Amino acid sequence: MAAKKTPEQRLAELNEQQAKIERELKQRKERIVQQKRQQQAKLMNQKRKRETRQKVLIGAAILAKIEAGEWSRDNLTRLLDGYLKRDDDRALFDLPPVPGGKSNRARSSSRFR
């Protein structure tokens, strides 16, 4: 017959079991957190792609209107002159730099919905 365990031995076993369960729970939690981060990144990537596509399509629509003569290039220039603040963006459209304009590469985000 097996020797009866002392209360100290039984307590040590229970502490060991508890530590093992806590380690397992921590690992499971870390896996879930990582999966959540991956899904959030996927959603953000989809959102960025959607916004980029919207911007491209808006630009294409405006350019088509200009080419069809339904909208003047001056209208586009005035629109961009009032909107673009970064020097490198303005240079793309042959617009002069704005005093106090930003010449760095920081991106501003606009939302199209």
Convert the pLDDT of each residue in 66-82 to its tens digit.
999 999 999 999 999 99
Q: What is the rounded CA–CA span in Å between residue 101 and residue 80?
A: 14
Neighbours of 97 (CB within 10 A): 14
Between helix 73-83 and helix 7-67 the angle, nearest 10°, is 150
Averaged confidence pLDDT in the chain:
90
pLDDT at residue 1, rounded to an integer? 63
pLDDT at residue 109, rounded to an integer? 45
Which is nearest to 76 in space by CA: 66, 87, 89, 90?
66
pLDDT at residue 96, rounded to an integer? 94
Torsion angle in degrees (nearest 10) through CA of 27, 28, 34, 37? -140
